[in-house]
Structure 1
Amino acid sequence: MSFKSMILAVTLAAVAFSGTACAKEAKKEEKQAILITSFGTSMPSARKAIDNLVAAAKKAFPGAEVRLAFTSNIIRRKLTREGKKNVPPTPVMALAQLNDEGFSTVGVMPTHIIPGAEYDEIKNVVEAWGELKGKYGIKDLRLGKTFLSSVEGCDEMAEILVKRFEKLAGKDTAVVLMGHGTPHHIANAMYSQLQVALDKIADGRFFIGTVENTPLIEDVVAALKKAGYKKTLVSPLMIVAGDHANNDMADKDDPESWYSILKKEGFAVETYIKGLGEDKGVTAAFVEHLKEMMK
C-alpha cells in the first residue's frame, strides 16, 4: 500500500469512527423517560394500584425508562422511618436524576383523578424545570393530563365505572363513590361533570361525594333518599385505596366514616375497597394518555 493510500485509509477510518461516535452521541441524546407521579401510600395493599400503572407503562413503552415519584413528603418520610427500601423520590429529585443520566425527552405523567391543587404542584415543577436551559435543562419536558380533565375524559371514566360495577352491584343497589376533592379549586367541578356523564348512561345509580369539598356525604345521603335507594355499595373514586378508603370511607368503628353514616341513616352498606389503579379500563385509559403525551 502506497503512503497516500495509507493516509486515505486512516482518514476514512477516522471519519467512520467519528460518524459512529456522533451517532452514538445522538442516540444518547434521544434517550426517553417517563416519570409517573403519585401522591403515594404507606399501605402495602394499596401500593398494588400504583405498581400496576407503572408496569403498564413499561409494557407500553419498552424503549423508555419508566420511573416513579411520590409527591407526599409525609408518605416518603414515614416509609423511610419504617426502614423501607427504594422509597420513591420527589418529582424534583427524580427529574434531577434523569437529567444527570442524560435523558433528553421526559414525560411527567400524574396519576391524579382531577387537575386540582396536587396537579398544580406537579405542573409548577415541570414549568419551572422547563425554564432551565443548557446542561441543567431537559430538552423536551412534557406533562400528561389527569383522568377528568375534559368532558370527554368524564364520559370515558363514566363508561369505565359502569363496566367496573355492573357485576358488583344489583340494579336495586346504589353505587356511592368517594372522591378526594380539592378545596377552593375550580377543578372540583369535574366531579359534577362526571356525575352528569354517569347519569346519562347509568339511570341515576351512581352518587359521587368527596372528602375535602362538595358534594359531601350529607349531600349523598340526601340524594340517595330522594332516589329511594335502600342498598348501597361504597367504593373509592381514587387511584389508590389508601387511608381515605380504609378509614374515612370503610371504618366500621369510626362513627364519622361514610360506612357508619350510611348505616345510621338506615342504608344497607357494602364496601369495595380497591383503587381504580387496579382496574383494567382505567389502566387502558392511563396508557392512552401516556401515548398522547409521548407522541
Structure 2
Amino acid sequence: MQVQQTEAIVLAMFGTTVESALQDLLAIHTAVQAAYPQVQVNIAFTSNQIRRIWHRRATNPDYLAQHPEIPREILQIQGVLATIANLQDRGYVRLVVQPTHIAPAEEFHDLAAYVRGLLSIRTMKPRWRPFQAIGLGRPLLGTYSLKYAYADDIRIAAQALAADAELARRQAAALVYMGHGNHYFPSGGLYLEFAARMRELYPDVLTLIGTVEGFPSLDEVVANLRHHRATRVLLKPFLIVAGDHAINDLVGEEEDSWQSILRREGFAVTAEVKGLGPQVASIFVTHVAEAATEAGVELR
C-alpha cells in the first residue's frame, strides 16, 4: 500500500515578469527537485504585482501563443500562503519554506511571520492541527541564528561567485555588483561584508557593491573606484534574477542607469547581465536541508 507523502518544499521567490529571467528562478527549482526527487517542490511568488501580471498573461491567447515556453506553474503562480494552504489541503503537513531572497530584510521578516502564525494554530484535538512542522530556510547571506553564523553564509556565497572574479580579472576590471537594498532595513552591512570577502578571496580583483535603494549607493561605489584608481568596470547584478532592475537600472540606455553614469564618469564599462540563480542554487539546496533538519522534517 502506498504511503501518503506528507513532506513538501515551498520556494518563496520575489518573482519576475521578464521571461528570460525565469531561467534564473527555475534553475533553483531544478536543483532542489534534483536533490529531493520524491518530494513535492512548489514555487511561490511573494510579489502581488508580479503574480497579477502573470495571471493576466495566462488569460491572453496571443501571449500564450507567443510564449509556449512559460511553465503552467508560472502562469498560475500563487503567493506563499495560498501555496501552503493548497499543499495542506492535499495532505502535506510537514513543510520547508525556503526563501530565495539575498538578505534577511523586509520580505524575509514577513515570510517568517507567516510561518510563525501557521505554527501557532492550535486545535481542540491536537491531531487536527493543520501542520506538524514547518522549517524556514535562510536567505543567501544568512540571518540571525545561534547555529549558523551569517558570516559563514556570506563566505560561501562569495566562494560560489569565483567565476565573476575571474571574468573581471581577465578584463583587468573592477567588479561592481548592483544589489537591491532597502531604505528601511539596514542590509548595507551585509553587502559590504560580502564585497570584503570577495576582495579577500580574490585579492587581484577590486570588488565593490552598491544598491538601488539605501546604502551603499552608486555614489559610494564611484568614490571607491576613484580611490583605487580603477579605470575599467565589469557590472553584474547581485540579484537572483536578471529582471527589470538589471535590464533597466543597471545597463539601460537611459541616462540614469549605472552603466550610463559610470561611462559619463570616465570609466570603460562592460556588463554581464545574468542573475545569480544558477550560481547559488546549490546554496539554497543546503539551506533547505539544514532547515528541514532543524524542524524535524525528513526529506527524501
1:168 to partner: Cα distance: 5.1
Aligned counterparts of 1:255 and 1:136: Cα–Cα separation in 2: 55
Q: Which residues of structure 1 form unaligned runs of 5+?
A: 1-19
Aligned partner of 1:235 in structure 2 is: 236
Task: Return the TM-score normalized by structure 1.
Answer: 0.86
Aligned partner of 2:136 in structure 1 is: 143
Cα pair distance change 1:186/1:137, threshold 3 Å: farther
Cα pair distance change 1:183/1:113, threshold 3 Å: same
1:133 to partner: Cα distance: 2.8
Aligned partner of 2:288 in structure 1 is: 290
1:163 to partner: Cα distance: 3.1
Q: Deviations over 1:112-137 (max 9, x none)?
A: 11100111111111111111134352
Aligned counterparts of 1:41 and 1:182: Cα–Cα separation in 2: 18
Aligned counterparts of 1:103 and 1:82: Cα–Cα separation in 2: 29
Q: Deviations over 1:46-82 (max 9, x none)?
A: 0001001001111100121000000001001111122
1:152 to partner: Cα distance: 0.5
Q: How does 1:46-195 map to 2 (within 5 A)?
A: 46-83=21-58, 85=72, 86-134=75-123, 135=128, 137-149=130-142, 150-167=150-167, 169-170=169-170, 172-195=172-195
8 Å contact kept, 1:35–1:106: yes
1:37 aligns with 2:12: yes
8 Å contact kept, 2:174–2:207: yes
Q: Deviations over 1:70-124 (max 9, x none)?
A: 0001001111122365321000100110111111210000001110011111111
Q: Which amino acid aligns with 1:133?
A: R
Aligned counterparts of 1:220 and 1:213: Cα–Cα separation in 2: 13
- Larger helix share, 1 or 2: 1
Aligned counterparts of 2:141 and 2:42: Cα–Cα separation in 1: 23
Q: Which amino acid aligns with 2:111?
A: I
Aligned counterparts of 2:184 and 2:38: Cα–Cα separation in 1: 40
8 Å contact kept, 1:169–1:233: no
Cα pair distance change 1:187/1:218, threshold 3 Å: closer
1:188 to partner: Cα distance: 3.3
- SS, match of residue 139 in structure 2: coil
Aligned partner of 1:223 in structure 2 is: 224
Q: Which amino acid aligns with 1:240?
A: V
Aligned counterparts of 1:277 and 1:61: Cα–Cα separation in 2: 18
Q: Which amino acid aligns with 2:291?
A: M
Q: Which amino acid aligns with 1:167?
A: L
Task: Return the TM-score normalized by structure 2.
Answer: 0.85
Q: Which residues of structure 2 form unaligned runs of 5+?
A: 60-71, 143-149, 294-300
Aligned counterparts of 1:290 and 1:172: Cα–Cα separation in 2: 37
8 Å contact kept, 1:172–1:229: no
1:169 to partner: Cα distance: 4.2
Using CA pairs under 8 Å that are at least 6 residues apart, name the structure with larger relative contact order, 1 or 2: 2
- SS, match of residue 234 in structure 1: strand
Q: How does 1:266-277 map to 2 (within 5 A)?
A: 266-277=266-277
8 Å contact kept, 2:168–2:175: no
Q: Which amino acid aligns with 1:140?
A: A
Aligned counterparts of 2:57 and 2:224: Cα–Cα separation in 1: 42
Greater Cα radius of gyration, structure 1 or 2: 1
- SS, match of residue 78 in structure 2: coil
Aligned counterparts of 2:92 and 2:122: Cα–Cα separation in 1: 14
Aligned counterparts of 1:249 and 1:232: Cα–Cα separation in 2: 13
Q: Which amino acid aligns with 2:118?
A: W
